[in-house]
Structure 1
Amino acid sequence: MPEFDSRGTFQKAANEYTKIQDAFPEVIRDPLLADMAVKEGDRILDLPCGTGDAIVRAAKLAGPTGHALAIDISPSMIEEAKESAEAAGVKNIQFVVENMDEAQFDAAAYDIVVSANGPFFASDLKAFLVKMWGAVKPGGKLVLMTLGRNFLTPISGVFLDLAQNKTEDLRISIPWRVTEDILFLRTLLEEVTNKQRVKITHRDVVMDYKTADGGWNLLMGTAFRGYTLEMSAQNQAEIEAEMKEWMQTNRVFSATCSFNNIVVTKDDA
């Protein structure tokens, strides 16, 4: 797996990803909305927006005088987001299917620019952050969420061991490792934002998935789904069965995730 296939992974994972957002709102959506602190009339950019769990609620808070631009590489993710917006009666969102490296948007046009668990998928992290920071209005804010050093432990490690043992020449490429280091993040953002104050909050969250089926669905709703794209159908089925057996045998029905929530506010002009 020399290069992580973001589009293919999240096309397949969209449905499970939506279920994770619904089951664990306190993991991503709620902390993100707290950091965004949306006000009436705010203009918001969300890239990548995923299935829209946060941006739909943010746009509703921004009200009819506000506006949101939501971009994601996966058409399936965007379709899920559109359905959520329609169900919530939210009409002030423009949805766009686009690669995050090629996405176009106005400079200095947004009160809030947000990217949750997505920056590490950029081909050039610094260039992506420069572009996102450039979209923030004076007095506006950049809101990021990245994964910490624990991502679905212990089941993630068990899954990767089984995957490599079962599948010949399966290479492990973990994009989010680039943003695990808090010192690296702070230093890079201070450079990108010309020494603006960077606020980083670390969180560790326990996700209780209750059953072996729930644990498998949790894995398949995340970037780990991408490794199954490299496997035969038989290997996928065997690994799913072995993972569920491991969870049942060891009575492991929860996983720990760590996150770094980041807010940088741009000085007024």
Structure 2
Amino acid sequence: MGELDEAKAKAAAAYNAAADHFDHPVSSFWHRFGRRTVERLALQEGERVLDVCCGSGGSALPAAEAVGPKGTVVAVDLAERLVALGEAKAREKRLANLEFKTGDMLALGYRDASFDVVVCVFGIFFVPDMVAATRELWRMFRPGGRLAITTWGPDLFEPANGAFWDAIQAERPDLVKGFNPWERISTPAGLRDMLGDADISGPDIVAEAGSHPLNSPEDWWLIAMGSGYRGTLAQFDPATMARVREKNLAGIAGYKAITTNVVYGVATK
């Protein structure tokens, strides 16, 4: 299996496993940042939107509301269980202009200029070659259209993130990551450089500092179970996971929030 196929398989497996906790209220930031991304685009009625790495609809649902019944939104994700969650929400909201699909953003087969807007929230970094992926997204929308890439800023989920990997280190040092892929684009300069490498100039990039409240350490564990951390946790038997959980939560005792800094980028073609 090549690097790209391995990355896709790991992402799909992690988020399919995380689907049972992905929409838990403690993880409301998925939809908060998705909506903020859409707000920054100032979508117009009737526009055609492609949302890749859509999760359960954090940005696709508000996009569908914004473009109205004359517009369309196609929402794509590798994790079919997240797609199913999104489909259920679209039905509940009666958004007939929103189509969810399980698929790979690098192999969608759409012609050049098929859309007015392309959105990717917390997803571009799952592809080993972010520049190539961004070029593919850029190809699929018309001149005058917009590309929105939202990514994590520095210190994601700290201090809980550090405590999590300390707990993993105690059980399986081989699973500890030395580098997270979003770190290359976790600053405005980093995102601007990546877009420049994809021959995209003049993006509007804004860094937003933020935090997400924790009512208790257990809130963090639910967030971990409903996010990409689940891919690591899925490799443990119940007894080992219990030890990891205990150590992780002990490491954040007394903390009332985790860091959720975000970088928003919008480029016009």
Q: Same fold (TM over 0.5)?
A: yes
Equivalent position of 1:60 in the other structure: 65
Structure 1 position 142, deviation (Å): 0.4
Equivalent position of 1:253 in the other structure: 256
Equivalent position of 1:176 in the other structure: 182
* Structure 2 gap ranges (5+): none
Equivalent position of 1:118 in the other structure: 123
Q: Percent identity?
A: 24
Structure 1 position 61, deviation (Å): 1.8
**Separation in 1, partners of 2:76, 2:31:** 23
Structure 1 position 111, deviation (Å): 1.4
Structure 1 position 26, deviation (Å): 7.2
Equivalent position of 2:194 in the other structure: 188
Change in 2 beyond 3 A, CA 1:163/1:194: closer
Equivalent position of 2:265 in the other structure: 262
Structure 1 position 201, deviation (Å): 0.4
Matched positions, count: 262
Structure 1 position 181, deviation (Å): 4.2
**Separation in 1, partners of 2:35, 2:14:** 24
Of 49-58 and 24-33, deviating more is: 24-33
Equivalent position of 2:213 in the other structure: 208
Give every structure 1 segment of 4 or more consecutive aligned residues whose post-TM-superposition deviation is greater than 6 Å. none
Equivalent position of 2:235 in the other structure: 230
Change in 2 beyond 3 A, CA 1:18/1:87: same
- Identify the match of residue 106 of structure 1 among 108, 111, 121: 111
Aligned partners of 2:206 and 2:264 also within 8 Å: yes
Superposed CA offset, 1:179-224 (max 9, x none): 22432321231342453x1111001111002112211111222222
Structure 1 position 101, deviation (Å): 3.0
Superposed CA offset, 1:58-88 (max 9, x none): 1122111101111100010000000110011
**Separation in 2, partners of 1:90, 1:26:** 17
| Letter in structure 2 aligned against 1:160 | W
How high is the TM-score relative to the length of structure 2?
0.90
RMSD between aligned alpha carbons? Answer: 2.0
Of 42-51 and 20-29, deviating more is: 20-29
